Chains A and B, each alone.
Chain A
Amino acid sequence: MQHEYQYFPITVPGKGAGGQTGTWRFVRPVVNLNKCIGCRACWMFCPEATIHVIDGKVEVDYDYCKGCGICANVCPVKAILMEGEDQ
């Protein structure tokens, strides 16, 4: 039976469901590609899925990276440094 106010709370998968979370960040991970050995530990542990390994190169999606610093902490060769956001 069709209800007058029937509403199905259905959502679809998509980036940014919690907003542009990169704005939460006050420190940002900066990858030194000369040091990086491509082990993907940072990718494995990133809670935001904002580390991308493209052609063996680590890239951070700053639109959504929250700056938690886990990637820098798990990197075995310290190729990621957390730098303060300006302003």
Chain B
Amino acid sequence: MLNDTSLMSGTSACPGCPENIAMRMLSMALGKDVALVVIAGCSSVTQGLAPKNAYGYASLNIAFAAGPPAASGMWRAYKRRNRDVTVVVWAGDGGTSDIGFASLSGAAERNEDFIYLCVDNEAYMNTGGHRSGSTPHGALTPTTPEGKSGNKKEIPFIMIDHNIPYVATASVGYPHDFIDKVREAKTIRGFKYVHVLTPDPYGWLFDPSRTAEVAKLAVQTCYWPLFKWKDGRIEVSPESLHCLKKETRRPLKDFLSIQGRFKKIDEKGIEDLERYIDELWERISLNLKR
């Protein structure tokens, strides 16, 4: 049986929380001997109230930009003591793509030996769901009441451009793919970046029973690609291979219509999003051979 001891029941998270699902899958991948550096976000709060903590891993809660530097010191300290501990930075999409980006980029450039895991719920959920750099075009948030104008920042590609040894994308809808990628990341030395899509019922406005379903739809409609970048080339996961051809993609509307945050998007907005997806896959196709 897979290890799922990273999460103790009775957390402070909302019902149906995708970040909790990702946290359980993290220990299914890594087992014991993991130290977390948790950057401010929902995951800082879901740990609950002292003296208890809902996370089964040693966790250091820290300010946004301080996460990657703290992890840089932590893996060195473990190494010096000859301890085989995997250091994981756990951060939301706001912490990753906006507020903490400079120090993330710095740690990647130094090729520090830890895993950086971004749980992407496409908004600053802990402080009310306002838009982040990772919010998609057309999505309603409290700070984009008519829908965000402009596309999601493509952090996985930006991390690939740092020339680090490993970059992977995942979705909580496809646990085995996610778990395999985190396991593979553990075997590699240097900076590993894993970006997992975590659809959030409260920001994306769908029923909390549908978290896993929406996470699957994001992949099936090719809105969210599953791939890994290793040895200078991209390998698309089997779950996403149908996306390489436009004809075999599931219609994007299947993903949009199930969420309240896209209720104001018009035909033009949908076309814009579809163009974004076309370009995303063109970019992936180009990197397949390189």
Which residues of A are at the interface with B, using a C-beta cutoff of 8 A? 9, 11-21, 24-25, 44-50, 53, 61, 63-64, 66-70, 72-74, 82
Contacts and interface: CB of A to CB of B under 8 A. Distances in A.
Q: Which of B18, B53, B56, B172 neighbours the largest number of chain A CB atoms within 10 Å of its CB?
A: B53
Contacts of A15: 8-10, 52
Interface of B: 1, 4, 7-13, 15-18, 20-21, 24, 46-56, 172, 175, 207-213
A45 B212 contact: yes
Contact of B52 (A9, A11, A25, A53): A11
Nearest to A14: B52
A68 B208 contact: yes
A70 B9 contact: no
Contact of A17 (B18, B48, B175, B210): B48
A73 B70 CA distance: 39
A65 to B, nearest CB: 8
A39 B9 CA distance: 21
Given A44-B175, A48-B20, A69-B208, A18 B10 contact: yes
A69 B48 contact: no
Q: Which of A18, A20, A69, A74 neighbours the largest number of chain B CB atoms within 10 Å of its CB?
A: A18
A7 to B, nearest CB: 11
Nearest to A53: B1
Contact of B11 (A9, A48, A53): A48
Judged by DSSP, the binding face of B is loop
A68 B15 contact: yes
5 contacts: A16-B10, A17-B48, A18-B13, A47-B21, A64-B10
Contacts, number: 120
A17 B49 contact: yes
A75 to B, nearest CB: 11
A20 B9 CA distance: 9
Contacts of A44: 175
A63 to B, nearest CB: 7
A18 B12 contact: yes
A18 B209 contact: no
Nearest to B7: A49
Q: Which of B53, B175, B209 neighbours the largest number of chain A CB atoms within 10 Å of its CB?
A: B209
Given A44-B175, A47-B21, A69 B8 contact: no
A83 B153 CA distance: 41
Contacts of A46: 21, 24
A47 B48 contact: no
A43 B183 CA distance: 20
Contacts of B55: 13
A9 B10 contact: no
Contacts of A53: 1
Contacts of A19: 10, 12, 48-49
B208 A49 contact: no
Contact of A70 (B4, B16, B52, B175): B16
A72 B11 contact: no
